Structure 1
């Protein structure tokens, strides 16, 4: 089924390695490190690789390039993970539905990456998650499904050389399934199969990827928009004109290769390079709802097949995530929003299974993201068939010096990154400096298992519950030590936030001092993720969060108050959009609230 990717690359020579002393570097992302990175990227000496796009694919590319010794820069117009990568189903999975499409290669690839994330690169962020697959008919469906899930398990073992990191399938009667998931309807199933995948906080994964890349010498700047691509007299792309959205200053970044990983903005980026060809993507909206953990009684997740795709009911520590939808999106791409129709669709499908039906009053959060689905050929593909578009990724040279990657999914970001850098290097050079990211732990992963063994002692010494220590370990891994040092220096940071007691103040401070947060929105939407965990989207906590961030970011009172008000207005607009019945109306409501750092028109200086 797999078509060969276009390989219109040229052999590259003369790639320069980062200086030896750059091999180990501070991984902290701060306002000052961003300023220094922009200055360094603007150096006339230039970069080997400039990565455009700070989602999971771009972040993965930056890490891959940096760990091969290339002088690497990465810029993102919004915050890290500010686009699609913060709004996924938060799953690391092989894609069981692709197995039933006979896409064995894609499933094997994804399951291999799942094993790496669980065991080596991000065990603090990626956790094994059991799911129940309800069965509605005896014998035939159970046998058919057992073969499929059995093949899923076999591919996982094959990809991880016998150590899949999760248990294999197990079959249950109706009574056994009800024991695992009491809130499933009696008449919905005759039995079930339990299988495993994994879950991840998607935005935190991206931030940790960027930080790890910085630790290996990459230069990183968020809120930095590429407004044009520069070319030499032959038409070859030689770098980018960027605008620092924090200061308004325009800069030029020289690069031997520009690699664009811009998702649903792929064709816009290609246009900057003067390309009429390249890759084409379809923006497909996926919506999820969030309900409190105590609203559904279940010890596993649920995997449900729908008439269009699949629906997941996924347990997290304090809530359930339920989704997703799959509809073509034609509105502005920066701020997709859920509509009333989207919410009704998810409730309808979830309530077909749940013994205690959910209502709108149960919903504490919603979120919407745009999948960049790679189109197989020319423009004008049938948008009603977006679920049939392959999730396989493609890398191509859209214009001389401009490499573009699109497609794929969060689970396979590392493979996508490796392919993109291989492409940039050329086949011969790539063989001499192969990717090492399969065995490169992200920040927080190294020493994580040893740190976990100290969790009881940490709880006793701090007077914390076991749940709080687990919460911190699952977010920061071995870097929990850095948060404890912050609390030792300022004990007030060890106190829970008044309006979000699951989090402590040190997490807000760490978002600024280590994770590159520049605004209240950055903290509440992608680090302390109250944006979808609370009914008011974290607006009540905004003032407290701003009070912690203000001295660290040098805000005066007016700036602090403006940050809080901006977040409150944004939150209200998203909630209001949920009452609209269609995308156009919902997007119009959302767009009434301007961004603190709006994007600038493409092609401007």
Structure 2
């Protein structure tokens, strides 16, 4: 994104909230731009528990409004907006006491189901069911005998979080939004009255400076909220606490079960989630004060998750079973203004969001959760427009299908026909549809142009060669890490961070992005160093040591001052 005509809204932050704001604004007919300092979803949104849910635990705090709102958004995503990315998933809520606990749990889960169905205009998920010990053993054979006397089976939603963000950005771009990743705001532009009227940015790929003018700027930068507000030289705004959560990934065959588990620990809620060919297990919830750009799982974090999962597993997990880990930071909204003195434990902070004008012309939004991104985006744009204008041009995102949703259901019924010309079986096509939806047509076009792209990657056969080209040509990938961490999940759903596929992926990207040998080698070395640094961090036992280990590898390669060509992918458009 370069200098150009004034925007109606400039969005700073390319996570789930910022991407949602860009789509909301674009579908209202506004001229909107969005910039992100890292890759899309690079800060927090790709490191979640990958759930779209009402937040069953918030019922314990009697936060009915938040739960009802989130469940409504869950229904929209599941059945209307993004059925290719959001799927129903059953969970078991353990019963450990024979008499008094079941009525208590039933009341909570029953209310959860009722709130989901109340006023729903679509077919919601099934109501909860009661299971005895035998029923639990059938649903989850890997349960340790005696760890529970029964369970309540209920349904929630799971999501490919990073691809949801990417899809939001692509959808927004389709409606005219201008988007640029790897573009950092250095300071805000103000007029003579001190009102923010845009931002100065640096394109980190070319090391070039640009000024973007906008009538309003909306900052949706999560754990960087206070840093972003500081650029406007204001003492106002919101306070955000960073809380670290980590997850481990183990092979699907390692645990015998067909449903997920939700477990209460002394510090957090632990989910055991069936995810494609794997289980994702987490999370933790600990205050974090290290480098916000590169949180990592420590050995203590990993051991904590394993220990608490093993409470209910007949065949206990060990470190050797863990093929991947990831860590993210929750942006938890704090009470009071930025320079206040209140202190609140991260586990007690509400997940509700707040929108405020941190400085004249600069709007900040913080808090909330992935599930309610659309509501947050609507509130932010309404705030920017003002009550009267927002009423004249209301949000339309509750009925705007995301890229890949249109035609998805019909295509799922044609999986065998779709795969036959390329040698893909039904399972392969189903996996592709669940990542791309009707956008599978883009992959098919790539394969028609180059039939060799239909083959699986030799080092990561769950993914096709075409998906690597797709990442660069149509999804804005600029670096190897963009492919391994966001467009695919090879960084943690493949052994050794997906390094067995590194050479093949690097060759495909080199051809697509016109990298020379030097640039290709730089990219490979940067990814290897990143993987080694994360492995070293996993051997430490506190965040400070882990952060020091992770700092051994820079966030990405430095291209400033080089002659390497910088491509202009689909999502990187001139303003």
Give the TM-score band, short-chain normalised: over 0.9
Stretches of 4+ aligned residues off by more than 3 angstroms: 378-383, 597-600
Backbone CA RMSD of aligned residues = 1.2
2:410 to 410, 435, 450: 450
2:159 is aligned to: 200
- Partner of 1:172, secondary structure, is strand
Q: Does 1:433 align with 2:393?
A: yes
Match for residue 240 of structure 2 among 277, 281, 286: 281
1:525 corresponds, among 470, 474, 485, to 485
Counterpart of 2:329 (choices 370, 376, 388) is 370
Among candidates 510, 531, 544, match of residue 550 of structure 1 = 510
- State the secondary structure of the residue aligned to 1:376: strand
Aligned to 1:300: 259
Q: Is the 8 A contact 2:374 2:397 kept in 1?
A: yes
Conserved in 1, the CA contact under 8 Å of 2:243 and 2:287? Answer: yes
Q: Which of 94, 106, 122 does residue 146 from structure 1 map onto?
A: 106
State the partner residue of 1:125. Answer: 85
Residue from 86, 89, 95 that aligns with 2:49 = 89
1:104 maps onto 2:60 in alignment? no
| TM-score relative to the length of structure 1 | 0.91
Deviations 1:361-380 (A, max 9, x none): 00000000000000012545
Q: 2:201 aligns with which of 242, 252, 260?
A: 242
* More displaced stretch, 532-541 vs 475-484: 532-541
Q: How many equivalent residue pairs?
A: 558
CA contact (8 A) 1:156 1:164 kept: no
Structure 1 contact 225–599 (Cα < 8 Å) conserved: no
Contact 1:550 1:556 in 2 (8 A): yes
Alignment of 1:471-482 (within 5 A): 471-482=431-442
Superposed CA deviations along residues 39-61 of structure 1, whole A, max 9, x for unmatched, are 3xx11x31000000000000000
Q: 1:77 aligns with which of 19, 37, 45?
A: 37
Pairing of 1:131-530 with structure 2 (within 5 A): 131-161=91-121, 163-377=122-336, 379-382=340-343, 385-530=345-490
Cα separation, 1, equivalents of 2:130 and 2:211: 59
Could you list the per-position Cα deviations for residues 376-418 of structure 1 after superposition, in whole angstroms to 9, with x for gaps in the alignment? 12545445x2111000000000000000000000000000000
What secondary structure is seen at the aligned counterpart in 2 of 1:536? helix
Give, in whole Å, the separation in 2 of the partners of 1:185 and 1:374: 38
Verify: 1:115 aligned to 2:75, yes or no: yes
CA distance in 2 between counterparts of 1:495 and 1:249 reads: 39
Superposition deviation, residue 572 in structure 1: 0.9
The answer for unaligned runs of 5 or more in structure 2 is 561-575
Deviation of the 1:597 alpha carbon: 4.7
1:603 — aligned with what?
none
State the Cα deviation string for residues 57-78 of structure 1 (Å, max 9, x = none): 0000000000001000000000
The corresponding residue for 2:567 is: none
Q: d(CA) in 2 for partners of 1:197 and 1:343?
A: 25
Secondary structure of the corresponding residue to residue 79 of structure 1: coil
Distance 2:95 2:63 in 1: 23
Deviates more, 1:530-539 or 1:427-436: 530-539
Query: 1:147–1:282: structure 2 CA closer, same or farther, 3 Å change rule?
Result: same
Give the C-alpha shift of residue 535 in structure 1: 2.8
- Cα contact 1:246–1:597 (8 A) shared by 2: no
Please report how far the alpha carbon of residue 485 of structure 1 lies from its aligned counterpart in structure 2 after TM superposition: 1.4
Asked if structure 1 preserves the Cα contact closer than 8 Å seen for 2:205 and 2:559, the reply is no
Question: Secondary structure of the equivalent of 2:90?
Answer: strand
SS at match of 1:575: helix
2:569 is matched with which residue?
Answer: none
CA distance change for structure 1 residues 303 and 244 in 2, over 3 Å: closer, same or farther?
same
Q: Distance in 2 between matches of 1:246 and 1:458?
A: 38
Distance 2:514 2:558 in 1: 21
Post-superposition offset of 1:536? 1.2
Distance 1:188 1:310 in 2: 17
> Once the two structures are superposed, what CA deviation does each residue of 1:231-264 show, in whole Å capped at 9, x if it has no partner?
1111100100000000000000000000000000
Whether the 8 Å contact between 1:63 and 1:212 is mirrored in structure 2 is yes
Q: SS in structure 2 opposite 1:589? A: helix
The one of 525, 533, 541 equivalent to 1:581 is 541
SS at match of 2:363: strand
Match of 1:372, SS state, is strand
Deviation by residue 1:474-499 (Cα, 9 ceiling, x = unmatched) = 00001111111111110110001010
Partner SS, residue 155 of structure 1: helix
Q: Is 1:66 paired with 2:26?
A: yes
- Gaps spanning 5+ residues in structure 1: where? 1-37, 601-605
Separation in structure 2 between the aligned mates of residue 380 and residue 283 of structure 1, nearest angstrom: 16
